[in-house]
Structure 1
Amino acid sequence: MAKHMVNLDALIRREDFEAAAPDVLTQPSGLMANLGVAELGPDSFMYNVLRKPDFQRETANWTPDKVAALVRSFLEGDLIPAVILWRSPKSGNIFTIDGAHRLSALIAWVHDDYGDKHRSLRFFDGVIPTEQLKAAEATRKLVQESVGSFNELKLALQNADTTPKEKLRLARNLSAFALQLQWVNGEAEKAESSFFRINQQATPIDPTELDMIKARRKPNALAARAFIRAGTGHKYWSSFDDSVQLEIESHAKEVYDLIFRPTLDLSIRSTDLPVAGQGYSADSLKMVFELVNFVNKLRPEMWRSEASARKRVIPSQGAITALADDLDGAATIEFMRATKKAAMKIAGNSPASLGLHPAVYFYSATGRFQPAAFLAAVAFTQELVERRRLNKYTDLRCTFEDFLVKYKHFLNQIVQAYGSLQRSVPAILEMYRILLDALADELSEEAIILRMQKNSNPRLPVKIITDEDRKHGRNFSSETKNAIVLKSTLESSPRCNICGARLHLRAMTIDHKVRKEDGGTGDPGNGHMTHPYCNSGYKESGHSFPSSVNSPHAEHA
């Protein structure tokens, strides 16, 4: 069974609470108390005025089983909580304050669109991730096995004599059952406060998602929303000029392809892994938001402030200017450019790219992506640039990465001690600093580990795992299988012919052994594979080649 969530985000359009229609509207004298499923069809009046708030989190948190179970429960007449709605007096559109997932699951059934058909294809500009397709197909299969399609039940009563009894029973239920509705009265401010109050009760909104909702007009939230969907889906930046929108979407796609391609499957078959894990996961939006904030040197106090133009004073930090809403897209583009530059430093084939191998830096020994390690690597590379230590790192890179591979469990130990995302970043970054300095001091592995263990701020809870610590059952678990594949492929990975460290084939260049200006030709025998930075910045700096490279230095002229 697919473990991916079903993306139903396309099925109810988003809109600003404050959007106004050309004509002034009045409050209705009465509102419906129930909603039949037939009113959710593509041609119905109700469906075409149905909206969700523009800041609402993505409707993509239900598994295929849960979507199928909701459809079955509705047709069986089980108790389903009332859907809470609000009718805008300005536009006349009807907003879901609570129950968007319930409504979207039924709409998906009526439209036969579980994130992969007509409305979803238009919404995501035809770019549907493999995980989303798998989840949609799994959902469709479950629903078919459980109750059948909406169209089947719709035709059942017209062909009662040939329809199976079970389908006929469900069809009759469909004709009679309806969702209960409750209504919020008042203006947009009342609707928004009701949304936050209700959605923090049964299933609280994740703190990062809540921060992004409240900062939805600020450039960091706009940039993160664009990156996570490669510039597709709901366009939070749609109020900007067309040229600005196009640039935002272009940057978003470039970064998405850089960090989330190829698609990560549940079982690892090679080390051709995306540097930022699954783009279609619960943690990916949080990680990308933190990435944008870190790269652009934003502290939470800057964008959590209610008054965007107000200055605050934080002890020991001085005055902090709160981040303003982005009115024209210029700040969003600035943030996106900075984030793209940071991503290009660790991945891709640009001349400045270090081409960090994902399996070395971003994945645990069992193949689990570690968001904290990704953020720490970005911080580490930026620090190398700022401190002018890129060439020193390249000198020691082969040994540096061999240590990380040998003691991969150190990463797990730090994340287990501190937690995921930003909580573990300072400790992982400190481990990298200590390792680089210790290698420069020519310390032994034992001395390096001892130096890490003695570090107190932050503490590095690293220890060598012994055979007694390893306990396995008789069968190979999926994590064990991933560990076997990663270990084997890392051992056989090609190496950079300049620094000697492992190459990621999506981030490599072909270098002339004898330079063209020295008479070198394009003959295959005169070429070898290198990291982009090794072939450009490092080689052009005039540094001698690291002693870790097996081939003679003269070959790299």
Structure 2
Amino acid sequence: MFITHHNIHAFEDGNKRTALNLFIDFLHKYTSLYIQDVITIQDSQILYLEKHISQEQFEHIIYYEVSEKLFNKNQKCNLEHLIPRGDIEATDEYQSGAQSDRRSSFNLTDLEKGQFFYQQLKKPIFQRDTNQWTVERVEKLINTFLEDGLIPAIILWEDSEGNIYIIDGAHRISSLIAWVNSDYGKENELNDSNHQVIESYINKNIGSYSEIKTSTDKKFKQAKSVIAKRSIAVQWVTGNYEKVKESFIRINEQGVVITQDEKELIEKDHLPTSKLSRAILAHGLGQVSKHQNDSTESLFNRFFMPSLSHQLNNYPLGGSLNEGFVISRIYNAVKIVDNGEHLDICSLEAKLLNVLEFIQDYLNISQKAYFYGATKQFKTNTFYGFIRFAVELSQNERLTKLFIRNRKEFEEFLVDNERHIQAIARKKRQAKKAFNELSSYYELLLIACENDDFSDLKSRYNYLEFGESNYKSTKEKTIRENYEKFISEIPRCFVCGGFIDGKEDAVQKHNCCL
């Protein structure tokens, strides 16, 4: 496939990287293979296209650079797409239906696609994203079912229209749905789900549900018997929508710790900040929401696409979509942009898009330089702080001109003092509480660069260490050296000398540099 693309399209310089991106993405999503050295493949592309090596030689290079990776049972399963979210508003006067004749359990056949029970299942908008369980945990749950072990009851709520909402047990029931329907992410196109690799692993270690169900092989006799007879217990909560939200918080506070952001998202799910955050993230989790549109898809892409890949030098603005509780990151960014104005959802959507366009299209911020640290991990503190600073810049022409004029020195200072942001945020205890202080730090630094006088900055932040001399231990020095190499690979604008995203050998300038 990779070579055929070259043969047919004769990729130019920019398109060679596109072909390689597609090839690596294909391997990563649909196989258990990976490329050992991307640079070797890149060099061989040029040699092949310039006819310095034959197709057979090119094939040999690819073959020897592709290796099989060990299956990681600790990778997360994104099962969010399997059960849609209901669009009940907090203000709607939904009451639970009649209590009589409610089922007390369900079995696996009820979870097959097309079955009425499965079709009625929904998750309330405040329910956690169903993407936190590992493959190992999903495997254990399926085995527990087949071994007739204890599985806690699923807690449900029914609205007056007969829709059934999962209040507790979304990961449990979604894991069983995934196995029954052999869907570990295949209908979720945007998120990197590794669904085929996961399906192969589960089928190898447990067996395919459809195969077990239809097989006459004696080795499946016990499993078939359990599937035919066993059911999962159901408990029902009653009351209106607000009562259900209270029940959800109470249940989860007794089990898995519920964060303050989660609690706020539940209690304020009727606000535009919550609705927009859910709508943006839904594009990457396979969900469909009435608040989704072309703009929310564009916002999702600006935060997360192309997906994080150190091999491909992709460093998205919002970090990796596969990290835990990403909704919190988006929610706080949306709140920072709203800035207490309490905008309606359309106005908030437009303002957020304008801020991201300002960051990415006008300033051409190097996301790699700003939002990824010495260990290449995403820096949430910087993300919040710079979003706030960008809002200020976009509304203040004088400050923007100051940034453009002093950009090189400003960014080099941030790199030389990479640990400042974390230290300021730590003093505020939480990243989401530190964004105003971080924005003030950026502004004060900008003024210091303009005046070539850093005394006010050092006086205000007298608890910080300035310069590279504070890296004393061998480990710290090694991390610093790796970070300097990491930063040195970022291209620079030929006008101002500041960092810019793109290829190292490309001649580039920021759109804001006239």
TM-score range, shorter chain: 0.7 to 0.9
Residue equivalent to 1:469:
473
Residue equivalent to 2:320:
278
Check 1:185–1:332 CA distance in 2 against 1; reply closer, same or farther (3 A cut). closer
CA distance in 1, matches of 2:88, 2:312: 47
The 8 Å contact of residues 57 and 213 in structure 1, kept in 2 or not, is answered as no
1:358 aligned onto 2:397: no
Residue equivalent to 2:190:
128
The 8 Å contact of residues 68 and 142 in structure 1, kept in 2 or not, is answered as no
The 8 Å contact of residues 388 and 436 in structure 2, kept in 1 or not, is answered as no
Q: Deviations over 1:41-94 (max 9, x none)?
A: 113232222233243232222122111111111111221111122333x22333
Residue equivalent to 2:263:
210
Equivalent AA in structure 2 for residue 144 of structure 1: N
Deviation, structure 1 residue 250: 1.5
Question: Cα RMSD (Å) of the superposition?
Answer: 3.3
Residue equivalent to 2:387:
378
1:308-347 correspondence to structure 2 within 5 Å: 323=342, 331-347=344-360
Check 1:472–1:145 CA distance in 2 against 1; reply closer, same or farther (3 A cut). farther
Give the TM-score taking structure 1 as reference length: 0.70
Q: Deviations over 1:444-477 (max 9, x none)?
A: xxxx4x75443259x647675545334379xx9x
Match 2:331 to one of 275, 289, 292: 289
1:249-260 correspondence to structure 2 within 5 Å: 249-260=293-304
SS in 1 for 2:85: strand
Equivalent AA in structure 1 for residue 473 of structure 2: D
Check 1:497–1:229 CA distance in 2 against 1; reply closer, same or farther (3 A cut). same
SS in 2 for 1:95: strand
The 8 Å contact of residues 72 and 146 in structure 1, kept in 2 or not, is answered as no
> Greater CA deviation, 390-399 or 425-434?
425-434
Deviation, structure 1 residue 334: 0.6
The 8 Å contact of residues 259 and 347 in structure 1, kept in 2 or not, is answered as no
SS in 2 for 1:531: coil
1:159 aligned onto 2:217: yes
Check 1:505–1:339 CA distance in 2 against 1; reply closer, same or farther (3 A cut). same
Equivalent AA in structure 2 for residue 181 of structure 1: V
Q: 5+ residue gaps in structure 2?
A: 1-71
Deviation, structure 1 residue 357: 0.9
The 8 Å contact of residues 431 and 460 in structure 1, kept in 2 or not, is answered as no
SS in 1 for 2:212: helix
Larger Rg: 1
The 8 Å contact of residues 79 and 178 in structure 2, kept in 1 or not, is answered as yes
Check 1:298–1:506 CA distance in 2 against 1; reply closer, same or farther (3 A cut). farther
CA distance in 2, matches of 1:25, 1:339: 37
Q: 5+ residue gaps in structure 1?
A: 122-126, 239-244, 300-322, 325-330, 511-527, 536-557
Equivalent AA in structure 2 for residue 379 of structure 1: R
Match 1:455 to one of 444, 454, 460: 460
Equivalent AA in structure 2 for residue 377 of structure 1: F
CA distance in 2, matches of 1:465, 1:532: 35
Give the TM-score taking structure 2 as reference length: 0.76
Deviation, structure 1 residue 186: 4.6
Deviation, structure 1 residue 340: 0.7
> Greater CA deviation, 184-193 or 41-50?
184-193
Deviation, structure 1 residue 207: 2.0
SS in 2 for 1:533: coil
1:112-511 correspondence to structure 2 within 5 Å: 112-116=182-186, 120-121=187-188, 127-130=189-192, 133-134=193-194, 136-156=195-215, 158-160=216-218, 164=219, 167-186=220-239, 188=241, 190-230=243-283, 233-236=286-289, 238=290, 249-265=293-309, 268-269=310-311, 271-298=313-340, 323=342, 331-348=344-361, 353-385=362-394, 386=396, 388-443=398-453, 448=454, 451-455=456-460, 460=464, 464=468, 466=470, 468-471=472-475, 484=482, 487-505=484-502
Q: Counting helix residues as a fraction of each chain, which structure ranks higher?
A: 2
The 8 Å contact of residues 14 and 234 in structure 1, kept in 2 or not, is answered as yes
CA distance in 1, matches of 2:303, 2:481: 22
1:39 aligned onto 2:132: no
The 8 Å contact of residues 308 and 314 in structure 2, kept in 1 or not, is answered as no
Deviation, structure 1 residue 26: 7.0
Residue equivalent to 2:175:
105
Equivalent AA in structure 2 for residue 251 of structure 1: S
> Greater CA deviation, 220-229 or 184-193?
184-193
1:78 aligned onto 2:149: yes
Check 1:462–1:414 CA distance in 2 against 1; reply closer, same or farther (3 A cut). farther
**How many positions carry a matched residue from both structures?**
438
CA distance in 1, matches of 2:447, 2:142: 59
